């Protein structure tokens, strides 16, 4: 058992690693993390997902279902390094958890199921990591199971994710006979006889693997020296590189985010130590990452943060969590300076000052109060009541904004109806808590019907929320059928003018705006631009106009769905010395927006899903026919052994109940995954049905 190091806060920055574990569902992220906790001496036994005694999956629903729902952060220590780990969920409905983690983490371990190779969600999290430029190492898990194959998985990584994936270890033995690994840097074999022991016996490389090991080692070094001129020269001059030198250039290569060390094993046991070693050796420390940009509020200047404790404080809030014992926790990643417990901090996103009560380091099974948190670190704050996900916290005398986190928009909704009056009374408060925690959850109340609609990323997402309402807050609701979260947008550019004038005795209301509304590309959301010159509308009323536009965009004119992918420009207007107010301009803007939308050829958008079905070949025809009957388009089919993999794009509106349908078509022998891909125009006939259904 590794020795437990206790001085948990005093680690120099180059000995800190902030990493995420990301993968497709069920690849073994939580299991590997549990093993890491065991080998770093944090727990006395490796938690098992299927018996529900994990530390990382602590939520009741997670333990029951054997899946991760919310990302969990923990701190551990290895080789004199402090490692903050965030274990993320693999299910697509909880993709926001991956997004926020990758935004604040410096590196990631991508776990693969060695039987499956690259699965659809591995591609998604890979893309997310690309977006944030997060360097990665690849751990091919489960190669001890039947069908587990390191080399096949490696090939699939090279084909689907990046050709620059290079083994740093090779497995010894195949499937059940897996007994250890050959380390291509030390050129030694390491075998474990008992999985739960943290002792490896060092052996000579088995005779029949020598050639292969030399070949892969050569490949690794050749690729890695590309990233270091001096070592490249030494290598080309026929000099052997030392262990240190190889590690140095593999590290340098990995830090570029375009080179990926690969290794594998059984994540339930000792190979977790290889993961730890690789994290320390190859993944970045906070100073290795240079792309954190801050924008000063006063000068609007942007600059790259140094990540030192001597700069003014700047941190990003990336997760809110209601903890049953200590209340509302705000997880922050500090990018500059330091923050003390009991002090005050500026929330520059909201413009409020907040008091920092306690600072907590989250360990697997306990919380440790710390006095201070500094650049490069991750901790949870108690006491911030107004801070939400994506907000910047900073020094009051040096206010900056950090890039926020963007989340996917919810695609599916259900009507929820409180069961009793007591439930109704508590509902608003409870929903507010969930929305604070989860930026992909939205609530809307329909003014006409009085119904409350809950929007989320998928059926499982909403089911879990409803279940948590009942268990954690004792609020019971009935839920309606799932429905699609459509959007509205326009086809052509239009302008509109609106005056809001009210005269009733004393002070009246006067607001007058001229706007244009034009379509934007898919996925651009709502943009507002103020082009007023010469004071046609005084500055103090502009926020009123912007608020009006945003409010009007929440429910569009065709069927009350949010209006998106448009730009609204305010270009003229007039005001009244006495009667004008922010409110009057807001009302004027709402009217102008509605008029413009009506005349801009509004149409509906629907979420299109990427669907991947895996089934025995004999069902291929039926599955494809069924997809076509759902307005779906098959994009690709390929054989893998005796199975066929079908990739398609299908409108979400046609996919409710697909699990049952597919089971019926294939005698339960097919599996599928589905995730939101993009929005597309709804065909007119279906639009009519939707609009009719709404009225």
Ligand X SMILES: Nc1nc2c(ncn2[C@@H]2O[C@H](COP(=O)(O)OP(=O)(O)OP(=O)(O)O)[C@@H](O)[C@H]2O)c(=O)[nH]1
Q: Which residues of this protein are in contact with ligand X, per CB under 6 A?
A: 23, 25-31, 48-50, 66-68, 89-91, 141-142, 144-145, 266-268
When CB distances are held under 5 to 8 angstroms depending on the partner's kind, the choice from Mg ion, ligand X, none that residue 50 binds is ligand X
Q: Is 29 in the site for Mg ion (CB under 5 A)?
A: yes
Q: Is 602 in the site for Mg ion (CB under 5 A)?
A: no
Lookup result for tokens 């301009």: 585
Lookup result for tokens 């699609």: 484
Residue number with CB closer to ligand X (93 or 228): 93
Residue number with CB closer to Mg ion (97 or 288): 97
Smallest distance, ligand X to C-beta of residue 610, A: 18
Smallest distance, Mg ion to C-beta of residue 279, A: 18
When CB distances are held under 5 to 8 angstroms depending on the partner's kind, the choice from Mg ion, ligand X, none that residue 252 binds is none
When CB distances are held under 5 to 8 angstroms depending on the partner's kind, the choice from Mg ion, ligand X, none that residue 144 binds is ligand X
Tokens of 217: 């080692």
Residue number with CB closer to ligand X (463 or 572): 463
Angle ∠(372,378,379) on CA atoms, nearest 5: 60
Q: Tell me how many residues contact Mg ion (CB under 5 A).
A: 3
Q: Is 35 in the site for Mg ion (CB under 5 A)?
A: no
Residue number with CB closer to ligand X (66 or 173): 66
Contact stretch for Mg ion (CB under 5 A) within 64-72, 103-111, 238-246, 598-606: 64-72
394 - beta bridge partners? 314, 346
Nearest to 614 by CA among 587, 591, 642, 576: 642
Residue number with CB closer to ligand X (22 or 411): 22
Q: Is 122 in the site for Mg ion (CB under 5 A)?
A: no
Q: Is 516 in the site for Mg ion (CB under 5 A)?
A: no
Number of other residues whose CB lies within 10 A of the CB of residue 408: 15
When CB distances are held under 5 to 8 angstroms depending on the partner's kind, the choice from Mg ion, ligand X, none that residue 623 binds is none
CB 94, CB 30: distance < 8 Å = no
Smallest distance, Mg ion to C-beta of residue 114, A: 17
Burial class of 420 by CB neighbour count within 10 A (0 to 12, 13 to 18, 19+) = exposed
When CB distances are held under 5 to 8 angstroms depending on the partner's kind, the choice from Mg ion, ligand X, none that residue 616 binds is none
For 548, phi then psi, to 5°, come to -60, -45
Smallest distance, ligand X to C-beta of residue 425, A: 35
Smallest distance, ligand X to C-beta of residue 265, A: 7
Smallest distance, Mg ion to C-beta of residue 612, A: 20
Residue number with CB closer to Mg ion (64 or 369): 64
Helix (H) or strand (E) holding 416, with range, is: strand 412-418
Smallest distance, ligand X to C-beta of residue 24, A: 7
When CB distances are held under 5 to 8 angstroms depending on the partner's kind, the choice from Mg ion, ligand X, none that residue 267 binds is ligand X
Residue number with CB closer to Mg ion (68 or 440): 68
CA distance 33 to 539: 53
Strand 81-87 relative to strand 169-172, pairing: unpaired
Number of other residues whose CB lies within 10 A of the CB of residue 238: 6
Lookup result for tokens 């900056």: 400
Number of other residues whose CB lies within 10 A of the CB of residue 527: 13
Q: Is 18 in the site for Mg ion (CB under 5 A)?
A: no
End-to-end alpha carbon distance in the chain:
66
Smallest distance, Mg ion to C-beta of residue 90, A: 6
Smallest distance, ligand X to C-beta of residue 668, A: 20
Smallest distance, Mg ion to C-beta of residue 443, A: 27
CA distance 373 to 379: 7
User: CA distances (Å), 670 to each of 114, 623, 625, in order?
Assistant: 20, 10, 15
Nearest to 149 by CA among 124, 165, 170, 168: 170
When CB distances are held under 5 to 8 angstroms depending on the partner's kind, the choice from Mg ion, ligand X, none that residue 277 binds is none
Contact stretch for Mg ion (CB under 5 A) within 63-71, 119-127, 645-653, 660-668: 63-71
CA distance 103 to 95: 13
CB 66, CB 52: distance < 8 Å = yes
Residue number with CB closer to ligand X (195 or 686): 195
The DSSP code sequence of 449-464 is T--EEEEESSHHHHHH
Residue with nearest beta carbon to ligand X:
90
CB 482, CB 412: distance < 8 Å = yes
Q: Is 54 in the site for Mg ion (CB under 5 A)?
A: no
For 200, phi then psi, to 5°, come to -105, 145
Residue number with CB closer to ligand X (86 or 220): 86
Q: Is 564 in the site for Mg ion (CB under 5 A)?
A: no
Residue number with CB closer to Mg ion (29 or 251): 29
CA distance 603 to 488: 6
Residue number with CB closer to ligand X (48 or 53): 48
Q: Is 268 in the site for Mg ion (CB under 5 A)?
A: no
Question: Residues 68, 153, 347, 666: which binds Mg ion (CB under 5 A)?
Answer: 68
CB-based contacts of 163: which residues, under 8 Å, 6+ apart? Answer: none
CB-based contacts of 96: which residues, under 8 Å, 6+ apart? Answer: 407, 408, 438, 439, 440, 457
User: CA distances (Å), 144 to each of 25, 114, 222, 265, 269, in order?
Assistant: 18, 8, 29, 7, 11
When CB distances are held under 5 to 8 angstroms depending on the partner's kind, the choice from ligand X, Mg ion, none that residue 27 binds is ligand X
CA distance 22 to 27: 9
When CB distances are held under 5 to 8 angstroms depending on the partner's kind, the choice from ligand X, Mg ion, none that residue 287 binds is none
Residue number with CB closer to ligand X (21 or 255): 21
For residue 683, the SS3 value is coil
Smallest distance, ligand X to C-beta of residue 638, A: 24
Tokens of 414: 């259900």
Contact stretch for Mg ion (CB under 5 A) within 66-74, 250-258, 438-446, 469-477: 66-74
- Residues binding Mg ion (CB under 5 A): 29-30, 68
């Amino acid at each position: 058992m590794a020795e437990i190091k206790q001085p948990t806060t005093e680690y120099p920055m180059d000995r800190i690693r902030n990493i995420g574990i990301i993968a497709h569902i069920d690849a073994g992220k939580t299991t590997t993390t549990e093993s890491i906790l065991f080998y770093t001496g944090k727990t006395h036994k490796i938690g098992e997902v299927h018996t529900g005694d994990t530390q990382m999956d602590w939520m009741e629903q997670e333990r029951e279902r054997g899946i991760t729902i919310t990302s969990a952060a923990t701190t551990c220590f290895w080789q004199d390094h402090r490692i903050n780990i965030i274990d993320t969920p693999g299910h697509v409905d909880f993709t926001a958890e991956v997004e926020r983690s990758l935004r604040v983490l410096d590196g990631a371990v991508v776990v693969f199921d060695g039987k499956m190779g690259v699965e659809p969600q591995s591609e998604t999290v890979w893309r997310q990591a690309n977006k944030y430029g997060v360097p990665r190492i690849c751990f091919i898990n489960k190669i001890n199971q039947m069908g587990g194959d390191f080399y096949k998985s490696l090939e699939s990584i090279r084909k689907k994710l990046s050709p620059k994936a290079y083994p740093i270890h090779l497995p010894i033995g195949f499937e059940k006979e897996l007994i250890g690994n050959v380390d291509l840097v030390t050129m030694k074999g390491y075998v474990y006889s008992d999985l739960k022991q943290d002792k490896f016996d060092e052996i000579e490389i088995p005779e029949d693997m020598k050639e292969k090991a030399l070949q892969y080692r050569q490949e690794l070094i050749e690729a890695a020296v590309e990233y270091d001129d001096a070592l490249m020269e030494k290598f080309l001059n026929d000099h052997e590189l030392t262990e240190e030198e190889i590690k140095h250039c593999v590290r340098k290569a990995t830090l570029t985010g375009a080179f990926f060390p690969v290794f594998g094993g059984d994540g339930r046991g000792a190979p977790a130590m290889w993961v730890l070693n690789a994290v320390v050796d190859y993944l970045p420390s906070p100073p290795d990452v240079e792309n954190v940009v801050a924008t000063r509020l006063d000068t609007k200047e942007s600059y790259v943060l140094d990540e030192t404790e001597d700069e003014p404080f700047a941190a990003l809030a990336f997760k809110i969590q209601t903890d049953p014992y200590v209340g509302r926790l705000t997880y922050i990643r500090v990018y500059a300076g330091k923050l003390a417990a009991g002090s005050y901090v500026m929330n520059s996103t909201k413009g409020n000052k907040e008091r920092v009560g306690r600072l907590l380091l989250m360990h697997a099974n306990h919380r440790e109060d710390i006095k201070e948190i500094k650049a490069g670190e991750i901790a949870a704050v108690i006491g911030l009541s107004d801070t939400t996900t994506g907000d910047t916290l900073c020094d009051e005398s040096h206010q900056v904004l950090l890039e926020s986190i963007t989340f996917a928009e919810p695609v599916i909704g259900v009507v929820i109806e409180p069961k009793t009056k007591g439930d109704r009374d508590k509902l608003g408060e409870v929903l507010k808590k969930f929305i604070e925690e989860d930026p992909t959850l939205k609530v809307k109340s329909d003014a006409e019907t009085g119904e409350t609609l809950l929007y989320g990323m998928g059926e499982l997402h909403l089911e879990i929320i409803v279940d948590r309402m009942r268990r954690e807050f004792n609020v019971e609701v009935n839920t309606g059928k799932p429905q699609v979260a459509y959007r509205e947008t326009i086809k052509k550019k239009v302008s509109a003018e609106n005056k809001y004038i009210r005269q009733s005795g004393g002070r009246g209301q006067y607001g007058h705006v001229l706007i244009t509304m034009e379509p934007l590309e898919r996925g651009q959301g709502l943009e507002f631009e103020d082009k007023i010159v010469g004071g046609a509308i005084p500055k103090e009323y502009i926020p009123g106009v912007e608020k009006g536009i945003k409010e009007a965009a929440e429910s569009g004119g065709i069927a009350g769905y949010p209006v998106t992918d448009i730009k609204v420009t305010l270009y003229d207007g007039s005001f009244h010395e006495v009667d004008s107010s922010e409110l009057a301009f807001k009302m004027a803007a709402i009217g102008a927006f509605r008029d413009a939308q009506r005349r801009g050829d509004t149409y509906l958008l629907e979420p299109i899903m990427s669907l991947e079905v895996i089934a025995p070949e004999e069902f291929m025809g039926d599955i494809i026919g069924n997809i076509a009957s759902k307005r779906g388009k098959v994009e690709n089919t390929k054989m893998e052994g005796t199975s066929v993999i079908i990739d398609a794009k299908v409108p979400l509106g046609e996919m409710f109940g697909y699990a049952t349908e597919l089971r019926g078509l294939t005698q339960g022998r097919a599996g599928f995954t589905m995730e939101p891909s993009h929005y597309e125009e709804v065909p007119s006939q279906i639009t009519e049905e939707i609009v009719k259904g709404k009225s």
